[in-house]
Chain A
Amino acid sequence: MTDASAPAIQVIGLTKLYDKTKAVDEISFEVRRGEIFGLLGPNGAGKTTTINLLTGLARPSSGSIGIFGASYSDDLRTGQHLMGVVPSENNLYEELDGFENLCFCASLYGMPRVEREKRARELLELVGLDSAGKKKFVAYSRGMQRRLTIAAGIIHNPPILFLDEPTTGIDVASARQIRQMIRQLNEQNGTTVFLTTHYIEEAERLCERVAFIVEGRIVRIDSVESLVQDVHGRHIMQFSFDGAYPNPCEELQIEFQHVKCEAVSSGVVRIVSPEKIDITPFIKYFESKGIEVTEARKIQPSLEDVFVRVTGLAAEEMKREKEGKSK
């Protein structure tokens, strides 16, 4: 009962209330077939709740969810065979080895023994764990666990893959490998990918379109290209200094009214202007205030700038907060 022209995911006015708190507040968006769509936001913004609502692990308070044109608002279980889900926490069985874990996950989708064993071997190879297939999941490193969890999410070749913070808390090499895998799945199999992340550069590299979510509301949604276009033509200088100094943005704004000051994190501010920025008056200003500047550099506008501009949130702080939590 799917419509060939319908988007992979269509969400209209989706709301989730926990007691009286709105975790997700009337969000609406579409994810096109075969695209990689990113949901960006700080901790507690509603990213995981949104994934839970879309996959059937949470029940919407109101609103509708369509998967390939079919409505699943009342009961998502009938549409769960269309989805692969990779949660933010690695939730495989510690006592089983990698191969057994994948075979078990495949059996949940009704795959017969021969088929699931073949698929498990293929995926172990794909995620670079073929030599660790007989090792218990609990003995895997965090990066290996993450890769196996992703393999479990795609065991049944789902047309839609949901990834909740796929690279949080893992080493650089594993993160890169995971990003390559996501791209490969999307390009070779045409898998529609819906991912949440707090790594803005990851979203910029992987996603075709992104939505910014803050306090349960989607505040902006567009293609990465269009979003970055918004900040093109803007000149950005970033000043770093000892974080012990109080945020100087308010005073800077009074002193330099023709520019905009944005606090990136404690000890880092950005000066944004439609015209070329001469750093000399700023350096002099900081010196007069006794603030020692450790670095001043020109920044190329990126999705991060758009994020900071649209949400008013410091991207670096968001990243640090999340990484601290995942450790």
Chain B
Amino acid sequence: MKAWIAFWSIFWKDIKTYYVKPPNISWGIIFPFAWALMFFIRSGSALDIRSLVPGVVAMSILFGTTSLLAVTITFEKRQKTFDRLLLAPISFELLMLGKTSGAVLFGVLNAFVPIAIGAAFAGLSGTAWLPLILGVVFIAISSTFLGLFIAVSVVEVFEAQTFSNFFRFPMVFLCGLFFPIERLPMFLQPLSYILPLTYGVDILHATVTHTHRLPLWLDFIVLLLFCITLFLLSLRNVKRKWIL
């Protein structure tokens, strides 16, 4: 019970201190519009909103969670406020879950901006809503844990942003959002399958446009494995690097 009080406090403190700040809220709204516009310009013709939704949702979550988490964790470590959390008598697991839950929620809410726009303009009838919501949550968790892994691997905030881009941009191009994986050069195709976003995008395609490569259950299992692995790796890094 006591540990959960700490968990909720860390969660709400982060929401209040970082996530509901005007720049982040505007980011959450403007970013999906910007991506949608980019896709529209790229298509050069009539816009198929339904086909845009998976891509914009995936990128909104990926960029939203990794950017914010990299900043919040690295910034707190730099300010030494993270030491205060490390001195609290709660388990590392719960501490890191408390620290990442705000980013997961932010990612999920970010995702529902393009979904709401899609629903308003294209109706999105025939969408499998339950797997879509579950998929969004899974993508948000895996992206957040990727952000956590990056944040605990660096020292400075700018390093976190640079390191994030090292993962994010190749991921966006290789996960099947812009080009179908089958059309990628042969040597790049195996890389696609070691990226969590590939499986998340496949879930989004399956639920919104009904075009997917892998069975849904497999996408979910692989994403779950990515979440567990990234979380455990991050915990290991916190213990090794931050408790010297």
Interface residues of A (CB under 8 A from B): 18, 52, 55-59, 77-78, 80-81, 83, 85, 87, 89, 91-96, 104-105, 107-112, 152
Contacts and interface: CB of A to CB of B under 8 A. Distances in A.
A9 to B, nearest CB: 16
A18 B244 contact: yes
19 contacts: A18-B244, A56-B243, A77-B89, A80-B88, A85-B87, A89-B80, A91-B83, A93-B17, A95-B17, A105-B84, A107-B8, A108-B9, A108-B10, A108-B85, A108-B88, A109-B89, A110-B3, A110-B6, A152-B84
A107 B9 contact: yes
Nearest to B87: A85
B211 interface: no
B225 to A, nearest CB: 28
Nearest to A110: B2
B6 A108 contact: yes
A85 B17 CA distance: 23
Contact of B79 (A83, A91, A96, A111): A91
Contacts of B80: 87, 89, 91
A108 B90 CA distance: 8
B75 to A, nearest CB: 10
B124 interface: no
Contacts of A94: 79
Residue of A18, A58, A85, A91 most packed against chain B (CB within 10 A): A91
A57 B242 CA distance: 8
B85 A93 contact: no
Residue of B83, B84, B87, B243 most packed against chain A (CB within 10 A): B87
A140 to B, nearest CB: 15
Contact of B13 (A89, A104, A110, A112): A104
Q: How large is the interface on B (under 10, 10 to 19, 20 to 34, 35 or more residues)?
A: 20 to 34
A37 B9 CA distance: 33
B87 A110 contact: no
Residue of B9, B80, B92 most packed against chain A (CB within 10 A): B9
B19 to A, nearest CB: 12
Nearest to A85: B87
B236 to A, nearest CB: 14
Interface string B5-30: 11011100100110000000000000
B86 interface: yes
Contacts of B85: 108
Nearest to B85: A108
Interface string B78-116: 011101111111111000000000000000000000000
A56 B13 contact: no
Interface string B193-228: 000000000000000000000000000000000000
Contacts of A89: 80
Given A58-B243, A107-B6, A96 B17 contact: yes
A109 B85 CA distance: 10
Residue of A78, A108, A111 most packed against chain B (CB within 10 A): A108
The 4 closest A-B pairs by CB, nearest first: A110-B2, A107-B9, A108-B88, A91-B80
A110 B1 contact: yes
Given A81-B89, A109-B2, A96 B83 contact: no
Contact of A58 (B1, B3, B244): B244
Contacts of A87: 80, 83
A85 to B, nearest CB: 5
Contacts of A85: 87
Given A107-B5, A108-B6, A96 B13 contact: yes
